[in-house]
Amino acid sequence: MVVQVQDRDQSPPSQARQWRGWIALGLALILCWLCWSWPVAASPLAERLGAFPQWQGKPVLKPATGSLIYPDWFLGDWQVTSTLVDMAAPLAPQLVTPGYADNQRLLHQPVQFVVRFVEEPTPVRSQTLSGISPWELLSRKPPVIADLAFNGRSLAAAYLGDTAVQQVTVAPGFPNRQTTVLSQGRQLVSTISDRSTELDTQNDRWIASELFQQEFRSNTQIYLNQVENTTSYRYINTLPAQIDADQVTAIYLSPQDPNYFQALNQPIALYRYRLVLTALEN
C-alpha cells in the first residue's frame, strides 16, 4: 500500500498566505496614506486676502474689547514703507466713494512713516485682584500693543502733511476710539467695533482684521462710513529685523448713507497695500 503524502508547496494558497497578503496590502495602504501630501485648509482671513478683489460682504469677526494684542516680535519702533499696489471700485460707476479717483495718484508711490509698539501697562489694582504670585508677575511678559496716538499722528502726517495734523488722541479707558484733529476745523473719529486674529507660529505669520466706524466732521457736514483693515504680517529674522505685510482696506457705506441699500454689505472701494517694516534702533 502506497501512502501519498500531500505536498503543501504544490497545494493551492493556504489561509495563512491569504492573511499575509492582506497584511501586506494594508501596510502598503498605510504607507500611501502617510506619504500623501494632504492639503492644509486655509484660515478664513488668509482665504479672504487670497480672494481679493472678489470680496462678498464683510468678514465674520468678534466684538472688540480692549486693545489689539500683537505678537512679541512687534515690540519697538519701526520704519514703515507703505505702497498702494492695487485698488478697485466693485460697484462703480453707480457707487464710488469720495476721493477714490484722487487716490489713483497714490498708486505705486511709497510713503514712509514711523510706528511704535509698546508693552501694555498693567494697573496695580488689576495685578492685586488677579490672585497670582509676585514671582509670576515678575516673570510674565506684558502684552504688546500699538501706541495708537503716536502711530495715528505719524500716519496722518505722512499722507496729509505735518501741518495739517493738529492732534491725535485716544479715549481714556477706551482704546478703540481715536480722534484725529485736523486743520480748518476738521475731525476724524474712528471707533473699532469688531476684530479677529489668526497666528501661524510655524511660519511667523500673523493676520489681524478689524472693522471700524469712521465719522468725518467739518464745519459744514458730517460723512460716515465703515472701514475694514485686514493685514497679514510675516516676521523676517534679519539684522535689522523686518516685517513684510499684505494689507487690504475695504470701504463700506454706513447705514445712514442714502445709498446704503444699494450696496448693503458689499465694499464700494478696495485698496491693497504692500508694507515693509524695518526695525529701528532704540
**pLDDT value of position 131:** 56
84-128 pLDDT, tens digit per residue, is 999 999 999 999 998 899 999 999 999 999 999 999 987 544 444
Q: Where are the domains of the chain?
A: 45-279
- pLDDT band for 44, please (50, 70, 90 cuts): very high
Cell numbers for 35: 506619504
What integer is the mean pLDDT of 218-223?
91
3-state secondary structure of 243: strand
Distance CA 208, CA 246 (A): 11
Average predicted confidence (pLDDT) for the chain: 85
| Whether the predicted pLDDT of 12 surpasses 80 | no
- Cβ–Cβ under 8 Å, residues 141 and 120: no
- Cβ–Cβ under 8 Å, residues 212 and 250: no
Distance CA 32, CA 196 (A): 38
Q: Calculate the dihedral angle through the C-alpha atoms of 50, 52, 57, 58, rounding to the nearest 10 degrees.
A: 60
| Whether the predicted pLDDT of 32 surpasses 90 | no
Of 193, 195, 190, whose CA–CA distance to 180 is shortest?
Answer: 190
**pLDDT value of position 203:** 83
Distance CA 203, CA 73 (A): 13
162-175 pLDDT, tens digit per residue, is 999 999 999 988 99
What integer is the mean pLDDT of 233-252?
97
49-63 pLDDT, tens digit per residue, is 999 999 989 999 999
**pLDDT value of position 132:** 56
147-162 pLDDT, tens digit per residue, is 999 999 999 999 999 9
| Bond from prior residue into 121 cis (ω within 30 degrees of 0) | no
What integer is the mean pLDDT of 55-73?
95
- pTM, entire model: 0.80
What integer is the mean pLDDT of 29-36?
38
Which amino acid does the sequence have at 20?
Answer: R
- Cβ–Cβ under 8 Å, residues 62 and 115: no
- Phi and psi, residue 263, nearest 5°: -100, -35
- pLDDT band for 19, please (50, 70, 90 cuts): very low
| Whether the predicted pLDDT of 72 surpasses 70 | yes
**pLDDT value of position 43:** 86
Instruction: Please give the share of the chain, as a percent, with pLDDT higher than 90.
Output: 71
